[in-house]
Amino acid sequence: MSVNPNAFASLPDDAQMIQRAVDEAASRGDTVVIPRRNERTGEDLWLLPRAVKLHTGSTVILENAHLRLADGAFDNMFKNDWARTEEAGLLKNRQYDIHIVGRGCAVLDGGNHNGLVERNAAGSSRFPEIQPKLPYPALANTMIHLHNAERVSVENLRVVNARYWGMTFHFCSFGRVANIHFMTAGGCPNNDGVDLRMGCQDFVIENITGYTQDDSVALTCLNDRVARVQGMDDSIHGVVIRNIMTATRCANVRLLNHYDRKLYNIIIENVQSSVETDPASPIAAAYAYRLPDAERVRPAMETPYWGTFEGGERRAHVCVRIGENGYNDPNNPDSGAKLGDTFNIIVRNVQARSQYGVSVCRTLCDSSFENIQMFGDTACAVYFGGGEFENLRFSNRGFARNTIMREKDRNPCKGNYGYEKPAAVLFGGSVARDVVFDGLATHPAGGDAFAGYGDVDAQARNVCLRTPEAKLVSGEGIRVNAASGCREKLSGGEDIRTDNEL
């Protein structure tokens, strides 16, 4: 049996109808099925002025249903009973078996933005609708928020016009997020797709498509201002991320941790930059790119401070981004991640149209990267930022033979990403030991194999320098011990040696 919200069409608004159905289903052990037609209004739309609260055992099925947040609402679309409350900090309040599932064309729609963003959320008097002491006020704009829950899933949905992150999980475990298509409207900052935050473990995130202005999938273990569940580990671990095919301005997949929190045992596989045509192909200049197909709704702020897809930067900054030399307390040097805090990360099968294919910053150890291939307009396959790295293995990295390089990528600024000129592997103030590269081809438009500055000891074999001027190593403090006797050919056919004499 199932409960239909239309059974409560006498209630004043759609959120109350769905909430009553959720409450009734929980008392009976049934599911809720939201149909396409809203019999209260006679329209194919459900308008939510507040969040629907889900209980232990709640399963909500959207049957070709379109749910939209009401203008001026400051709340999620769905959240569990204890999300962002002090009660969520108690293990006895842990909730179980919460599922949101779409069938057919099921849509969660943020509608018109309410103006609340991270930059104006904290301590602002502009939003009296939000409790002054509400932790992490911007989280009121995430479409789905689950906090201290186990055995959870969100599947088969199209998420459009998100006002902030698409969905956020704190201290959740044994979860699955699958078959989600995002489409972000322009003019709205920090539109992540799926965010696992503190205390999440044993998740599968798979089959994510569409466009997210910010990170498509983010595992970020920081010092969140939400209740920590007493007696539970606040690290993130045991996560499989696979089949990610998105366009974004930031990263397709991002991992980040600080404040002594650990991030480990993560598998990332089959990540592709979504493009309509290869930017390096002969037809690219004449190709009329479609804009994201979300509705053109009111922007988040009168003066947007975040770049948009329409602004011309249609590639990601980084495809897979691990670590960050920011987001910790600048006044507390010990708050940043340290060697051993981020480990056992496996990345494989990345096809990236982004400025940088993979970047690792701050720290990483005991991890491996396999099959990182770049195409389109790109500069660097692997970037190491400032930090400490140890025991990393890279195999099979390179560029499509028609890859092009933007002029802005040829002379990047030292101190951020880049060092004088691009390279297949770039170091920006890194300290690295026991880093091994097997199979590396340089950019066909120019650049050396290894470049940058730092204190690096690496090994390399099967290196292909694809232009006559390319070097194995350039820069400061980069020591690469190439396999003795290894011979590769330049694109022009001349033999070179990449051995210990170089």
Give the tens place of pLDDT for each residue, 259-310: 999 999 999 999 999 998 999 999 988 887 776 654 556 667 655 555 556 5
Q: What is the maximum alpha-carbon separation in the chain? A: 83
Q: Report which of 1, 42, 43 is spatially closest to residue 21, judged by C-alpha positions.
A: 1
Cβ-contact 449, 469 below 8 angstroms: no
> Which pLDDT score is estimated for 29?
96
> Which pLDDT score is estimated for 122?
66
> Which pLDDT score is estimated for 497?
39
- Name the token pair of 490: 């330049």
Q: Specify the amino acid at residue 499.
A: D
Query: Rounded to two decimals, what is the model's pTM?
Result: 0.93
List, for the chain, all residue ranges whose pLDDT scores fall below the cut of 70.
122-135, 185-187, 291-299, 301-312, 412-420, 484-502
Cβ neighbours of 82 (radius 10 Å): 21
CA distance 207 to 155: 10
Three-state secondary structure call for residue 497: strand
Cα dihedral value 442, 447, 449, 450, nearest 10: -150
Three-state secondary structure call for residue 285: helix
> Which pLDDT score is estimated for 419?
56
CA distance 342 to 364: 5
Cβ-contact 415, 430 below 8 angstroms: no
- Enter the DSSP assignment of 229: P
CA distance 237 to 398: 29
> Which pLDDT score is estimated for 407?
86
- Residues 27-56 have pLDDT tens digits of 999 999 999 999 999 999 999 999 999 999
Cα dihedral value 91, 335, 201, 177, nearest 10: 110
CA distance 138 to 130: 10
Identify the helix (H) or strand (E) that includes residue 96. strand 95-103
Three-state secondary structure call for residue 173: strand
> Which pLDDT score is estimated for 194?
98
CA distance 194 to 242: 13
> Which pLDDT score is estimated for 492?
39
Pairing label, strands 495-497, 487-489: antiparallel
Sign of CA dihedral 338, 339, 344, 349: positive
